[in-house]
Amino acid sequence: MSNTPDAITRQWFKEVWDEGREEVIDELTHADLIVHGLSGSGGPPMQGSAAFKQVFHIFREALGDLEIKVERTVSEGDTTAAYCIVKGRHVGQSLGGPPTNQPVEFSGVAICRVRDGRIFEAWNCFDFLAMYQQIGWVKNPPLP
C-alpha cells in the first residue's frame, strides 16, 4: 500500500474504524501522536495511542455496525483532510446513557498530518450534535 498521507488516512478509516482492528492504531500512529477535537469541549489534545484507544473503544461499543465512509480527501504536503460520513446504530452505553437502538448518520472532517509514514497529528471536527439529536438526547431547536 502507498505511504502517502492520503493512502494512510484512507487506510486508517477502513482498517481502524470500519474493520475495528485496534492493532492497526499502533501500526499507523506515530509514537508522539497528538489528537485534537476528541477530548470534550475545549479539552486539551490527547497524547499517544493509548489515549486514542479509549475513544476508539467508546465509539466502537456505542455504535453498532459503525461505518465511516471517506467521501473526499484533499492533500497538501504531509497533510490530508478527509470528509467523512459516519453511520451506525446506538447500541451501547459508553457515550454516557442507555442505548436507544436509533440509527445515526452524521458527517465530519479529520485532518491528518503524517510523519515517517504514520499519523503524527490529527484534528477532528465531527457533528456529534447531530448524533445526539438522532439518538434523542438533544432536542432539535425550533426553526425561526
Q: What CA–CA distance (Å, rounded) separates 138 from 71?
A: 27
Average pLDDT over residues 28-54: 90
* Nearest CA-CA partner of 68 in 9, 133, 132: 9
Residue 60, burial from CB neighbour count under 10 angstroms (0-12, 13-18, 19+): middle
Residue 140 clears pLDDT 90, i.e. is over it: no
Q: What is the tens place of the pLDDT at every residue in 46-102?
A: 999 999 999 999 999 999 999 999 999 999 999 999 999 999 999 999 999 999 999
Helix boundaries (H) for the chain? 5-11, 23-28, 49-62, 128-134
Of 56, 27, 32, the closest CA to residue 124 belongs to: 56
List of residues 6+ apart from 59 with CB closer than 8 A: 66, 94
Beta strands 79-90; 118-126: pairing state: unpaired
CATH class label, 5-134: alpha beta
